[in-house]
Structure 1
Amino acid sequence: MTEENRRIKAITRFSYGSGNLIGSGALAISGAWLLYFYTTFCGLTVFQATVIFSIATYLDVILNPLMGFITDNFYQTKLGRRFGRRRFFILIAIPCMIIYPLLWVNGMSFWYYLSTYIIFEVVYTMIMIPYNTLPVEMTKDFNQRTYLTGSKAMFGKVANFLAAAIPGIYFYFFNKDSATPFFLTGLTYAIIMITSLIMLYFNSWERPTDDVVDESTHGFMEGFNKLFTDLFSTFKLKTFRTHLGMYLFGFGAEWLFTATFTYFIVFNLEQPRTFVSEMNSLSSICQFFSTAFFMMWCAKRGFKRPFIIAILIVVSSVIGYVGVYYLNIPHLTWLIIGITIWFGLGTGGGILHSVECICIPCRC
């Protein structure tokens, strides 16, 4: 590919951003509905469902650095030199997306749900680790990286909207005791993910092999030791520790909220599941516009103050939800809608620290 073909064009930004339809959308659907699906339609207890999520999470702790190590060194293989050390894994993940609708088949055993969810987590990691490194591979220009990561953030909000709207559409066509809407949601989103991965693969590239620093090792154990040496050496960087804490507490709280929000609305506030979908859709729309606003704000003023304000908005929103329950006023739907809008505006700014990590050179 010539240097001219390697310019970051509109289709490049669009295709790279669409990759976040997997990163944000698939997890948004799973986070909002999978626990509810397991316990309501699959005969699993809450304990069994949380065991599935816990095992997959602990496995992910191992898979993430391992996948990073593999992709860093994959250029040494023939496949890596031909298809790319990062993009090869995106390519083989395309047919693997069929696993996603299999998560939403009801009437199976605990071991089926555990196995399918672990396989999905492996495939997800296989995509997202290489995907997040592509801006660094594709350009050295700070502004171009900002465009790429900005597109990723915007598509994240589109993914959140689709993740909320698609189940809601199917809910209207089936009764509340039917599990079919969940399977159709998984199937529909699998098609969306396949399409986005194809676009991502054919509109991305990597730095030439000659530009990659050779850090090859001799033998499996030496490579394994190097993996953990490099991993723990990152903790010496204060900036890394700061962003790690922001990620763990920020996104940890967000996913905890997402996982329990469906239960809260359906069982505590006694609203129909269509209302959950409507509130998630409304929140994602607010996040879309909020992200655009915060991106422009950060470009002019930096990341710190906008991020703090965004977090304060989110915290006040959660307090508002709790107040609706304890004051026993779930019938005030206008109030719930208002809190949801406020929450969406805040979470739109919560993505900023991850964008900063990717965009700012020599800081993370």
Structure 2
Amino acid sequence: MSPLTKLIFGSGDIYGGGQNIVNFLYLIFLTDVVRIRPALAGLVFLVGRIWDAVTDPAMGVVTDRTRTRWGRRRPYFLAATVLVFVSYVLLWAPVTAAGEWARFAYCLAAYLFFDLVMTMTMVPYSAMSAELTLDYHERTSVMSYRLAFSMGATILTALFPMWIVERAPDPRTGYLVMAVVFGALSALPWGLIFKYCPERPSFQRRMPSLDWRDLLLEPWRLRAFRTLVGMYLAGFIALDVVSSLIVYFMRYNLGRPTEAKFVMGTPS
């Protein structure tokens, strides 16, 4: 694989690393800008996590069994060139419905749509990382490119979204401008990946028939899988809680909201 191909493919993880924006800012956006109760704002995240637990494995099955002239992963990258941007803008749109429950319903639908687009894009992308080449060292090199873009996007999306929001005439406009900027940045790589990163024909063979019972139950019989799930849940629950509360702490406890971006960027 050429360095340019690795660079183009690795750039897709700008989208994955950019998830920091949602982890850090979406909860306070719901409570302080959209003006819904903290309990309802938290419910958006809870339903989203349950939704994610269903859509992730389902998308794995779907992409494995997709057969098109472009392959089984790349069609989803083509769709992502539009859907990633649209989902970003809808997520941060300053909804102004009069009723709180109407605003909650919109935000929940927008969050689930955003999460679905993330799943539809990142599951095939992660799977294709191991399919671009059969060489161990080449795979490691590809993952290094991915990691570099992911870490860069993590830092970028911790430092600059609030910088954009703070320079807008009001928070509603600021969040929308931020969504347009980072939505475009996250969507841009997918058209390039679709065009310049072909799939290996050897992975296009037909899959055996699917047994949903084995799909859902078999992994839980493995102790290593159960341990990994427990570690993942514990780690990411802690990360989500801390990420969401940093901005609140800086604004309401320390009274220094404009410096929150530097605190967010430090652990990133």
How many Å apart are 1:239 and its aligned residue? Answer: 3.9
Q: Choose the corresponding residue for 2:20, options 28, 31, 36.
A: 28
Q: Choose the corresponding residue for 2:73, options 62, 65, 86.
A: 86
Question: In structure 1, how many angstroms separate the alpha carbons of the residues matched to 2:199 and 2:217?
Answer: 26
Instruction: Say whether residues 1:148 and 2:142 are aligned partners.
Output: yes
Instruction: Say whether residues 1:119 and 2:113 are aligned partners.
Output: yes
Question: In structure 1, how many angstroms separate the alpha carbons of the residues matched to 2:147 and 2:248?
Answer: 27
Pick 1 or 2: higher relative contact order, CA cutoff 8 A, min separation 6: 2
How many Å apart are 1:269 and its aligned residue? Answer: 2.3
CA contact (8 A) 2:165 2:178 kept: no
1:267 counterpart residue number: 252
2:100 counterpart residue number: none
2:214 counterpart residue number: 229
Paired AA for residue 103 in structure 1: L
Question: In structure 1, how many angstroms separate the alpha carbons of the residues matched to 2:166 and 2:44?
Answer: 29
CA contact (8 A) 2:15 2:187 kept: no
2:87 counterpart residue number: 99
Bigger Rg over Cα: 1
Q: Choose the corresponding residue for 1:66, options 58, 67, 83.
A: 58
Paired AA for residue 94 in structure 1: T
Paired AA for residue 161 in structure 1: I
How many Å apart are 1:29 and its aligned residue? Answer: 0.4
Paired AA for residue 61 in structure 2: F
Superposition map of 1:2-21 within 5 A: 8-21=1-14
TM-score (norm 2): 0.90
Question: In structure 2, how many angstroms separate the alpha carbons of the residues matched to 1:242 and 1:205?
Answer: 35
1:325 counterpart residue number: none
1:362 counterpart residue number: none
Superposition map of 1:256-335 within 5 A: 256-272=241-257, 274-284=258-268
How many Å apart are 1:212 and its aligned residue? Answer: 4.4
How many Å apart are 1:61 and its aligned residue? Answer: 1.0
How many Å apart are 1:282 and its aligned residue? Answer: 3.5
How many Å apart are 1:137 and its aligned residue? Answer: 1.3
Question: In structure 2, how many angstroms separate the alpha carbons of the residues matched to 1:239 and 1:207?
Answer: 30
Question: In structure 1, how many angstroms separate the alpha carbons of the residues matched to 2:244 and 2:107?
Answer: 17
* Deviation string, structure 1 residues 134-191 (Cα, Å, up to 9, x no partner): 122111111111111122122111111221232233244236x532221111110111
Superposition map of 1:129-140 within 5 A: 129-140=123-134
Shift of the 124–260 alpha-carbon distance from structure 1 to 2, 3 Å rule, reads same
Shift of the 190–84 alpha-carbon distance from structure 1 to 2, 3 Å rule, reads same
Question: In structure 1, how many angstroms separate the alpha carbons of the residues matched to 2:105 and 2:123?
Answer: 27
Question: In structure 1, how many angstroms separate the alpha carbons of the residues matched to 2:139 and 2:219?
Answer: 22
Question: In structure 2, how many angstroms separate the alpha carbons of the residues matched to 1:212 and 1:245?
Answer: 33
How many Å apart are 1:58 and its aligned residue? Answer: 0.8
Question: In structure 2, how many angstroms separate the alpha carbons of the residues matched to 1:55 and 1:172?
Answer: 30
CA contact (8 A) 2:72 2:204 kept: no
Shift of the 244–146 alpha-carbon distance from structure 1 to 2, 3 Å rule, reads farther
Give unpaired runs (5+ residues) of structure 2: 98-102
- Number of aligned positions between the proteins: 261
Counting aligned pairs with the same residue, the percent is: 28
Greater shift after overlay, 102-111 or 35-44?
A: 102-111
Question: In structure 1, how many angstroms separate the alpha carbons of the residues matched to 2:135 and 2:89?
Answer: 39
Question: In structure 1, how many angstroms separate the alpha carbons of the residues matched to 2:225 and 2:142?
Answer: 22
Question: In structure 1, how many angstroms separate the alpha carbons of the residues matched to 2:153 and 2:72?
Answer: 27
Shift of the 202–101 alpha-carbon distance from structure 1 to 2, 3 Å rule, reads same
TM-score (norm 1): 0.67
How many Å apart are 1:19 and its aligned residue? Answer: 1.0
CA RMSD of aligned residues (A): 1.9
2:230 counterpart residue number: 245
Paired AA for residue 122 in structure 1: L
Question: In structure 2, how many angstroms separate the alpha carbons of the residues matched to 1:137 and 1:227?
Answer: 24
* Deviation string, structure 1 residues 103-154 (Cα, Å, up to 9, x no partner): 1122242221111111111111000110111122111111111111122122
SS in 2 for 1:139: coil
CA contact (8 A) 1:73 1:216 kept: no
Greater shift after overlay, 232-241 or 31-40?
A: 232-241
CA contact (8 A) 1:35 1:49 kept: yes
Instruction: Say whether residues 1:39 and 2:31 are aligned partners.
Output: yes
Shift of the 90–247 alpha-carbon distance from structure 1 to 2, 3 Å rule, reads same
CA contact (8 A) 1:11 1:203 kept: no
Shift of the 161–194 alpha-carbon distance from structure 1 to 2, 3 Å rule, reads same
CA contact (8 A) 1:41 1:179 kept: yes
How many Å apart are 1:275 and its aligned residue? Answer: 0.7
